[in-house]
Chains A and B, each alone.
Chain A
Amino acid sequence: MTLATLHDWVVTVDHKRLGIMYVVTGLVFLVIGGVEAFLIRLQLSQPGLTLVPADTFNRLFTVHGTTMVFLVGIPIVFGFANYLVPLMIGARDLAFPRLNAFGFWILLFGGALLYFSFIGGDGLYGAGSAPAVGWFAYAPLSERAFTPGNATDYWNLSVLVTGFGTIATAINLIATITTMRAPGMTLGRMPVYVWTMLTVSAMTLLILPPLSAAQIMLLLDRFLGAHYFDTQAGGSAIIWQHFFWFFGHPEVYVLMVPGFGFVSEIIPVFSRKVIFGYATLVVATVSIGAVSFSTWAHHMFTVGMGGTLNSFFAASTMLVAVPTGVKIFNWLGTLYGGKLRFRTPLLFCCAFLFQFLCAGLTGIMLSVAPFDWQLTDSYFVVAHFHFVLFGGLLFTIFAALYYWFPKATGRMLSERLGRWHFWLLVVGFNLTFVTMHFPGLLGMPRRIYTYPADRGWDMLNLVTTLGVPLQALAVLIFVVNVVYSLRRGAPAGNNPWEAWTLEWATTSPPPAYNFATLPPINSRRPLWDVQHPDDPDGPHE
Chain B
Amino acid sequence: MSSTALRGRAGVIGFILAETSLFAVFVVAYLFYIGKSLTGPFPQDVLELPIVNTICLLSSSVTVALATRALASGRVARAGAWLALTVALGLAFLAGTAQEWRRLIFERGLTIGTNLFGTTFYPLVGLHASHVILGLVMLSLCAAFAWSGALKAAHTQRVELVSWYWHFVDGVWIVVFTVVYVIGR
Give residues in A with beta carbon < 8 Å to B. 95-96, 99, 167, 170-172, 174-176, 178-180, 205-210, 212-214, 216-217, 220, 224-228, 233-236, 239, 243
Contacts and interface: CB of A to CB of B under 8 A. Distances in A.
B14 A233 contact: no
Interface string B94-126: 000000000000000000110110111001000
B24 A210 contact: yes
Contact of A233 (B17, B21, B22, B115): B115
A179 B7 contact: yes
Given A213-B25, A226-B118, A227-B113, 20 more contacts: A95-B10, A96-B7, A167-B18, A179-B9, A180-B3, A205-B17, A205-B18, A206-B21, A208-B21, A210-B21, A210-B22, A217-B29, A224-B112, A225-B113, A226-B113, A233-B116, A234-B36, A234-B38, A235-B119, A236-B32
B22 A179 contact: no
A176 B37 CA distance: 46
B182 to A, nearest CB: 22
Nearest to A220: B123
Nearest to B35: A234
A174 B14 CA distance: 7
7 contacts: A174-B14, A175-B10, A175-B14, A226-B112, A226-B113, A228-B29, A236-B32
Given A180-B3, A226-B112, A234-B38, A210 B11 contact: no
B37 A171 contact: no
B9 to A, nearest CB: 8
A239 B29 contact: yes
A437 B123 CA distance: 44
B52 interface: no
Given A174-B10, A233-B38, A236-B32, A209 B18 contact: yes
B20 to A, nearest CB: 8
Given A179-B6, A228-B29, A228-B119, A209 B14 contact: no
B145 interface: no
The 5 closest A-B pairs by CB, nearest first: A225-B113, A171-B14, A213-B25, A209-B22, A175-B10
Contacts of A213: 22, 25-26, 29
B24 A96 contact: no
Contact of B3 (A179, A209, A216, A224): A179
Interface in B15-63: 15, 17-19, 21-22, 24-26, 29, 32-33, 36-38
A41 to B, nearest CB: 36
A331 to B, nearest CB: 31
Contact of A95 (B11, B36, B123): B11
B25 A214 contact: yes
Given A209-B19, A213-B25, A179 B112 contact: no
B11 A172 contact: yes
A233 B10 CA distance: 43
A155 B150 CA distance: 44
A210 B23 CA distance: 8
Nearest to A235: B116
A94 to B, nearest CB: 9
A167 B15 CA distance: 8
Contacts of A227: 113, 115-116, 119
B14 A210 contact: no
Category for how many chain B residues contact A: 20 to 34
B22 A170 contact: no
A236 B30 CA distance: 12
A179 B17 contact: no
Contacts of A226: 112-113, 118-119, 123
A250 B25 CA distance: 16
A179 to B, nearest CB: 4
Given A170-B14, A209-B22, A233-B38, A224 B7 contact: no
Contacts of A95: 7, 10-11
A243 B25 contact: yes
A222 to B, nearest CB: 12
Contacts of B10: 95, 174-175, 178-179
Contacts of B18: 167, 170-171, 205-206, 208-209
B17 A206 contact: yes
Given A179-B3, A227-B119, A234-B116, A205 B14 contact: yes
A115 to B, nearest CB: 27
Contacts of B11: 95-96, 99, 171-172, 175
Contacts of B33: 234-235
A316 to B, nearest CB: 19
Contacts of A228: 29, 119-120
Contacts of B38: 233-234
Given A217-B123, A227-B115, A236-B32, A209 B25 contact: yes
Contacts of A176: 7
B25 A234 contact: no
Contacts of B6: 179
Contacts of A170: 14, 18
B93 to A, nearest CB: 23
A398 B95 CA distance: 56
Contact of A180 (B7, B32, B36, B120): B7
A518 B10 CA distance: 24
Contacts of B14: 170-171, 174-175, 205
Contacts of A205: 14, 17-18, 21
A209 B119 contact: no
B21 to A, nearest CB: 4
Given A167-B18, A233-B38, A239 B26 contact: no
B1 to A, nearest CB: 10
A89 to B, nearest CB: 13
Contacts of A236: 32
B11 to A, nearest CB: 5
Contacts of B22: 209-210, 212-213
Contacts of A234: 33, 36-38, 115-116
Contacts of A207: 21
A247 to B, nearest CB: 10
B13 to A, nearest CB: 8
Nearest to A174: B14
